[in-house]
């Protein structure tokens, strides 16, 4: 149990480091391009308030705790992740969802390009308010 806790701590540190490293790239995101990137998400996610599909609504996602919409059935992994959605945490989650939150249920392999993710996040910042 101790070893597991220690491992989780190390993972969090690593995530924080990665997030710090990419935060400058995030600042350059282009929301118009990001809207196009959102096509990869739109089959399951809406930015409208209360509009849950296969995935939960992304309205108001920034600053929200992961797994917080009461009427959506999240995976236990996401509910227990302790994540609060910020540019940085969204960036690492979208880059490789299974690495960021193992055993989460989002059927998506990840968006590889850091610039694409920055564009997407810039769009989400605008569209989810």
Partner 1 sequence: MATKLREVDVVVVGLGWTGGILGKELAEAGLKVIALERGGMRTSDKDYALPGIRDELRYVIRHDLMQNTARDTLTIRNNPSQEALPMRRLGSFLPGEGVGGSGVHWSGHTWRWTDMEFKVRSLYEERYGKNFIPADMTIRDWGITYAELEPYYDKFEYTAGVSGRAGNLRGEIKPGGNPFEAPRQREYPLPPLTTLLAGEMFAAAARESGYHPFPRPSANTSRAYTNPDGARFGACQYCGYCQRFGCEANAKGSPHMTVIPFALRNSNFELRTHSWVTKVIKDSDGKRVTGVAYTNVLNGEEFEQPAGLVLLCAYAINNVHLMLLSQIGKPYDPVTETGVIGRNYCYQTGTGATLFFEGRHFNPFMSAGGSITTIDDFNINWEFDRAPHGFVGGYNVSAGFNSALPIGYRPVPAGTPQWGKAWKAATARWYQAAMTIGASGSVMANRYNYYDLDPTYRNAFGQPLMRMTFDYKENEHRMGRHAAQLINNLASSMNPTKLNPAVARTQPWTVVPYQSTHNTGGTVMGSNPREAAVNKYLQSWDCHNLFVIGANVFPHNASYNPTGPVGALAYWTADAIKNRYLRNPGPLVQA
**Smallest distance, Å, CB 64 to partner 1?**
20
For partner 1, the binding residue among 1, 3, 109, 112 (CB under 8 A) is 109
- Give yes or no for a contact between 85 and 78, defined as CB atoms under 8 angstroms apart: no
For partner 1, the binding residue among 2, 39, 63, 70 (CB under 8 A) is 39
How many Cα neighbours within 13 Å face the side chain of 26?
Answer: 18
Facing residues of 124 across strands?
none
The gap between the terminal CA atoms of the chain, to the nearest Å, is 40
**Smallest distance, Å, CB 113 to partner 1?**
14
Q: Is 32 in the site for partner 1 (CB under 8 A)?
A: no
Mask for 1-20, x = binds partner 1 (CB under 8 A): --------------------
3-class SS at 53?
coil
């Amino acid at each position: 149990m101790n070893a597991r806790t220690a491992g989780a701590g190390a993972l969090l540190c690593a995530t924080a480091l990665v997030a710090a490293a990419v935060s400058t790239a995030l600042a350059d995101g282009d929301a118009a391009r990001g809207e196009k990137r959102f096509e990869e998400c739109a089959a399951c996610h809406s930015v409208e308030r209360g509009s849950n599909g296969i995935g939960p609504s992304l309205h108001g996602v920034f600053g929200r705790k992961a797994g917080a919409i009461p009427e959506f059935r999240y995976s236990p992994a996401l509910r227990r992740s302790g994540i609060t959605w910020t540019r940085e945490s969204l960036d690492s989650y979208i880059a490789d969802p299974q690495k960021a939150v193992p055993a989460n249920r989002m059927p998506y392999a990840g968006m590889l390009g850091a610039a694409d993710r920055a564009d997407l996040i810039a769009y989400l910042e605008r569209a989810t308010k």
